[in-house]
């Protein structure tokens, strides 16, 4: 379920449906968020270093699809699911649900850095990643 405009503006969580269950997503505490982002670094690096990932939307989409298992692990980690809950998620959730949940938790985890809408735009338009990284301007509330 998409977050409301109020949830986006205030940086509060929302809900995601994975299989037969709806999970609440909410911003992590500072320490947990830093640890989660550090664990995500190898996935993002691998996705962005994949041939063609920064050249086109199709290249980035291919990198995302090739990284579905790691994206699933990132969602499981963010939601702090135990092994039984993870197995249930793997049995019931669709790939589309997992990808949606991944981008939802990415939006929350990186909101203080990029703003959620800017993050979504960057993930859909690889050239924005380079522009954002090259820009020294601070992020604005989006």
Give this prediction's pTM.
0.69
pLDDT by residue (tens digit) across 64-92?
888 899 999 999 999 999 999 999 999 99
pLDDT at 54: 78
pLDDT at 137: 46
Enter the tokens of residue 41: 């670094």
**Given a cut of 80, is residue 114 above it in pLDDT?**
no
pLDDT at 89: 95
pLDDT by residue (tens digit) across 8-50?
444 556 889 999 999 999 888 889 988 998 898 888 888 888 8
Domain span including residue 80 = 5-134
Does residue 141 lie within any of the structural domains? no
Enter the tokens of residue 55: 């050249």
Q: Round to whole Å and give the CA distance between 117 and 8.
A: 9
CB environment 111-120: b (16+ within 10 A), e (fewer) = beebbbebbb
Does residue 142 lie within any of the structural domains? no
Report, as an integer, the average pLDDT of 92-96.
94
Does residue 139 lie within any of the structural domains? no
Of 118, 124, 120, whose CA–CA distance to 138 is shortest? 118
Does residue 34 lie within any of the structural domains? yes
Q: For the purposes of burial, counting CB atoms within 10 Å of the CB of 104, is it exposed (0-12), middle (13-18) or buried (19 or more)?
A: buried
56-60, 66-70, 114-118, 129-133: range with highest mean pLDDT: 66-70
The domain tally of the chain equals 1
């Amino acid at each position: 379920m998409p977050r409301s405009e109020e949830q986006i503006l205030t940086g509060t969580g929302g809900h995601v449906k994975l299989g037969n269950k709806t999970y609440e997503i909410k911003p992590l505490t500072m320490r947990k968020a830093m640890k989660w982002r550090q664990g995500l670094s190898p996935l993002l690096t691998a996705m962005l270093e994949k041939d063609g990932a920064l050249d086109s939307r199709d290249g980035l989409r291919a990198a995302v699809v090739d990284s579905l298992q790691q994206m699933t692990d990132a969602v499981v980690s963010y939601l702090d699911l135990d092994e039984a809950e993870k197995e249930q998620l793997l049995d019931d959730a669709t790939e589309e649900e997992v990808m949606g949940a991944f981008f939802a938790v990415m939006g929350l985890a990186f909101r203080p850095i990029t703003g959620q809408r800017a993050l979504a735009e960057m993930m859909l338009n690889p050239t924005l990643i380079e522009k954002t990284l090259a820009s020294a301007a601070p992020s604005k509330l989006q």
